Amino acid sequence: NDIGIELLKHLNDKELRELLPNSLGMRKLISLRIRELQQQDDCNASDSTIRETESPASTITIYSDDPSGIEGATTPNIHNTTATEVSQDIQFEFIDFNVANIITPQLSFPDFDLRTLLQTTPMGSSILKYYQQHNILDHTRRTRLVDIIIKHMYSYIIKNRMKHEEYNQVAAKIISLFPRECLGTYYVPPIRKSESIIGKSVLARGKLVDKVRNLIHKCEEANPKRKRRSKESNDSTDEILEKRGRVNNDDMTWLKVNSEPWAEVMEKWNNTYDLRRCDKDCPTVQEYLERWPILRDLRSDVLINQDFRKLFPEKELKLYTKWESFFEVVANLKLNCLKDSVALQLHESVPQTENEDAKFLKQLTLLPYFLPPKGRIITQKAINKHWKFSTLETLHAIVVTAKVAGDIEPVISQQVHNAQARGQRVQPYLLVEGTAEDPKRFYVVIDGRVHLSCESAKRSFDLLFKIFHVINANYPIQAEYIYTLLQKCVYEINLPSDKIPPYVSDILSNFK
């Protein structure tokens, strides 16, 4: 950053406003810090002294916050040509005050379950299946495995330098899941010169190290750059912010008319994240999709997961790790609410269901029966002035079923008709092709059209939940309490706008 510690002390309120136009809180924080530094300079000016030593050399000690740097650096001995040699032991302490460091929060090293990550990632399941069949991974699967892991850790890697123990943690996860794999394939620690049999230091190596180095080299926003800043780089912070804004708008325009190459799509989607979070001009799902048409692409699940990961760090895999415990709590507390005979039979069949997709869909279907809706709302255009939605209407706001592919369009049309009759808009929902015992395909329907197809029921619902937050959509009104309960208990996300009815507060208390 071109604004060093000395220049920072002289910034006024107007210049701070230009530097951080959209963050009043950050301007106040930096302004307070500037006053502290100015007061510190006044104190140092009155108390500073220079100590004389008997050493014939001048020593300058530099303290750095760089974890990979040298803790202390000493200049060579410098002798005067005069007869009298005078030495001064002057110690400077440099404070690393970077505006970017204040704006960007420090991320902790991501902890994740590798098996769950692979099961929920495109091409990840194929790695697990290949290992089960061959009891070893080939070159293609190893490369794919490392690629999935590093992409999951992307936000951390570009802001922090990976340490030896962190590489070891990731490599240990791999060996724990794939015991026949060799640790050295993925990570070999560096060797110091004093410990090397060839008398030279050896850099760390392995697939993990290579992938991280390549990512840092290619990624423009990565902090841990090894290259020194060019002396010709004289852009001011204002120019950088203005340039970044122009780039974001150009990227948004590009995304409206392009869907290939996909690597460039992902890069430009990442660049425009802040634009989407600040965009308040799309009150409906349809208008949002018109503004960001790339979300109509069948591969847009990658983009949705990428935004959700930024929006709620470390919440991406919560459905896979907490769903079973959540359902168990609900079933234990609300079993007496299960009055419907079909729902009772469905609940009794859950433990015997071996098909994971069928089991999850049965559990999801049972939620509105365990937690039947209460109360009523006033609709805008409905035939009846008040709408007291039923358990089935709550369920159909979350998931509907089409027994065969030919039933999909009629089911979607019926959803639109039912919503219009109540004066409501159709919010995103899950559509399952097949039966309760044999579900075959899973789709996410947005704005009356099938947008995404997933290979598993749990992954399709996970994507559905994330879509509401990524595109700033409201939960369907008849199922809002179900979604909010899942948001708080399963995904562990708390928002100021959350509304929880009293009759589900006992469930919420079990997850605090």
**Residue 378 is assigned to a structural domain of this protein:** yes
User: Is 251 in the same domain as 393?
Assistant: no
Q: CA 437 to CA 350: how far, in whole Å?
A: 10
Domain boundary among 271, 290, 309: 309
pLDDT tens for each residue of 398-417: 999 999 989 999 999 999 99
Domain boundary among 83, 103, 123: 103
**Residue 489 is assigned to a structural domain of this protein:** yes
Return the pLDDT at 382: 47
**Residue 227 is assigned to a structural domain of this protein:** no
**Residue 14 is assigned to a structural domain of this protein:** yes
User: Is 305 in the same domain as 435?
Assistant: no
Return the pLDDT at 121: 83
Domain boundary among 276, 309, 342: 309
- Token readout for 349 is 């069949």
Return the pLDDT at 481: 92
User: Is 304 in the same domain as 343?
Assistant: no
The per-residue pLDDT string of the chain (512 residues; one tens digit each, 9 = 90 and over) reads 456 666 666 677 777 777 776 666 677 777 777 777 776 766 655 554 444 444 444 443 444 444 444 344 444 443 443 433 433 443 433 344 444 444 444 567 888 899 999 998 878 899 999 999 988 898 889 999 999 998 888 888 888 888 888 998 999 999 999 998 888 889 988 888 777 666 677 788 889 988 888 887 776 555 544 444 444 444 444 444 444 555 567 888 889 888 888 889 999 999 898 888 876 655 678 888 888 889 988 888 999 999 999 999 989 999 999 999 999 999 998 888 888 888 899 999 999 999 999 999 999 999 999 999 887 776 654 455 677 889 999 999 999 999 998 999 999 999 999 888 877 889 999 999 999 889 999 999 998 888 888 889 999 999 999 999 999 889 998 999 999 999 999 999 998 888 888 888 888 888 86
User: Is 433 in the same domain as 347?
Assistant: yes
434 φ, ψ (degrees, to nearest 5): 130, -160
**Residue 412 is assigned to a structural domain of this protein:** yes
Query: Based on the structure, what is the number of domains in the chain?
Result: 4
User: Is 207 in the same domain as 265?
Assistant: no
Q: CA 297 to CA 295: how far, in whole Å?
A: 5
User: Is 289 in the same domain as 346?
Assistant: no
Asked whether 131 and 141 are in contact (CB, 8 A), the reply is yes
User: Is 353 in the same domain as 281?
Assistant: no
- Token readout for 347 is 């609940």
User: Is 96 in the same domain as 206?
Assistant: no
The strands making up 51-52's β-sheet, listed across from edge to edge, are 51-52, 88-91, 59-61
**Residue 224 is assigned to a structural domain of this protein:** no
Return the pLDDT at 30: 78
Q: Following DSSP, what letter does each residue of 384-437 receive, concatenated?
A: SSEE---HHHHHHTTEEEESSGGGHHHHHHHHHHHHHHTT-----EEEEEE-SS
Decide the pairing of beta strands 439-446 and 429-434: antiparallel
User: Is 253 in the same domain as 356?
Assistant: no
Give the structural domain span for 9: 5-103
User: Is 338 in the same domain as 397?
Assistant: yes
User: Is 97 in the same domain as 125?
Assistant: no
Residues 6+ apart with CB under 8 A from 285: 425, 427, 428, 446, 447, 471, 473
Q: CA 452 to CA 300: how far, in whole Å?
A: 8
3-state secondary structure of 449: strand
User: Is 401 in the same domain as 472?
Assistant: yes
